[in-house]
């Protein structure tokens, strides 16, 4: 089935199959493709390699667009979590949430009795740089909620299980979205850049405590900030 893509200048491009933003950008020009990090598809931020299945209005997100920071920051939070797992051991790291914020990103992490201090940040940054140099492909995939819960239980990630179960209860969701880069898999709505190697610069800035879900009755987690 063909699809019609409406671009911001009002032009319509017809395609005989579903298309990704990357393919649309290349169809316009290779130069544009090199500067494209994602898209806005019918007002939704959209990964570069995620197929567009039906007629849509599409605006490509270029390197200088403000939305580009959202793509990068989501991926940076995952690179941070992946680095912490590599350093401290996957079995010791329980991940909570890792959102983007106005000037950067953070990840809330439960490391049990292990404490991350600001003196540890250069070590974590070094591992993050290693992950960036590995240029890992960032892949989006969806799972039925039952499979998603089973996966996070298998990975021993109780905070993720709680998030999925609450999502089911609050929205009736049937599927949830994950992202994978190398050995690292995380629950996330996205969007993300297409590979870790696209990151050019970052800095971890501080560590603080944060109660799970902002409730002082819950466990105190460690929040690592970056920009």
Same domain, 76 and 163: yes
User: For residues 135 and 1, which has the higher predicted lDDT (pLDDT)?
Assistant: 135
pLDDT at 88: 98
Same domain for 47 and 114, yes or no, is no
Same domain, 81 and 188: yes
Instruction: Report the pLDDT value the prediction gives residue 34, as an integer from 0 to 100.
Output: 95
Per-residue pLDDT reduced to its tens digit, 136-156? 999 999 999 999 999 999 999
How high is the mean pLDDT of the chain? 97
In the predicted structure, residue 1 carries a pLDDT above the cut 80: no
More confident residue, 147 or 200: 147
What is the separation, in whole angstroms, between the first and last Cα of the chain? 42
Which of 62, 90, 105 is a domain's end point? 62
Confidence at residue 74, expressed as pLDDT on a 0 to 100 scale = 97
Same-domain pairing of 44 and 155: no
74 and 57 fall within a common domain? no
For 42, phi then psi, to 5°, come to 50, 50
> Over the stretch 13-60, which tens digit does the pLDDT of each residue have?
999 999 999 999 999 999 999 999 999 999 999 999 999 999 999 999
Q: Within this chain, do residues 117 and 152 fall inside the same structural domain, yes or no?
A: yes
CA-based nearest residue to 190, from 45, 9, 20, 1: 45
**Closest listed residue to residue 106, CA positions, set 200, 13, 222:** 222
Which range, of 1-5, 56-60, 222-226, averages the lowest pLDDT? Answer: 1-5
Q: What is the CATH number of the domain that holds 24?
A: 3.10.20.30
The pLDDT value given to residue 110: 98
Q: Report whether pLDDT(7) > 80.
A: yes
User: pLDDT exceeding 90 applies to what percent of the chain?
Assistant: 98
Asked which of 36, 62, 88 is the last residue of a domain, the reply is 62
Q: Domain boundary at 62, 91, 106, which? A: 62
> Which pLDDT score is estimated for 222?
98
Q: 120 and 23 in one domain?
A: no
Tokens 């969701």 belong to which residue?
173
Q: Which domain holds residue 129?
A: 69-226
The answer to whether residues 46 and 80 belong to one domain is: no
Structural domains counted in the chain: 2
Q: What is the mean pLDDT of residues 115-132?
A: 98
What CATH number is given to the structural domain containing 214?
Answer: 3.30.980.10
Residues with Cβ within 8 Å of 5's Cβ and at least 6 positions away in sequence, in order, are 12, 13, 14, 15, 19, 24, 52, 55, 56, 57, 58
Task: Please name the helix (run of DSSP H) or strand (run of DSSP E) that holds residue 84, with its range, or none.
Answer: helix 68-88
Instruction: State the pLDDT at residue 59.
Output: 98
Question: 78 and 13 in one domain?
Answer: no
Instruction: Write the DSSP symbol of residue 10.
Output: S
């Amino acid at each position: 089935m063909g699809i019609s893509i409406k671009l911001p200048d009002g032009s319509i491009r017809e395609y005989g199959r579903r298309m990704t933003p990357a393919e649309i950008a290349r169809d316009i020009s290779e130069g544009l493709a090199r500067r494209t990090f994602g898209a806005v598809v019918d007002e939704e931020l959209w990964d570069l390699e995620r197929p567009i299945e039906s007629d849509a209005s599409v605006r490509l997100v270029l390197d200088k667009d403000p939305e580009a920071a959202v793509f990068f920051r989501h991926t940076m939070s995952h690179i941070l979590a992946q680095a912490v797992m590599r350093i401290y051991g996957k079995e010791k790291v329980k991940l909570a949430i890792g959102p983007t914020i106005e000037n950067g990103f953070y990840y809330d992490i439960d490391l049990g009795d292990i404490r991350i201090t600001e003196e540890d940040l250069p070590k974590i940054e070094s591992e993050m740089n290693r992950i960036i140099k590995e240029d890992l492909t960032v892949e989006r995939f969806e799972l039925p909620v039952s499979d998603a819960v089973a996966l996070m239980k298998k990975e021993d990630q109780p905070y993720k299980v709680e998030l999925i179960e609450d999502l089911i209860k609050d929205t009736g969701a049937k599927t949830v979205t994950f992202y994978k880069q190398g050995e690292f898999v995380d629950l996330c709505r996205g969007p993300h850049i297409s590979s870790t190697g696209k990151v050019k610069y970052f800095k971890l800035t501080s560590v603080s405590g944060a109660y799970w879900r902002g409730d002082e009755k819950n466990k105190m987690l460690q929040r690592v900030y970056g920009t």
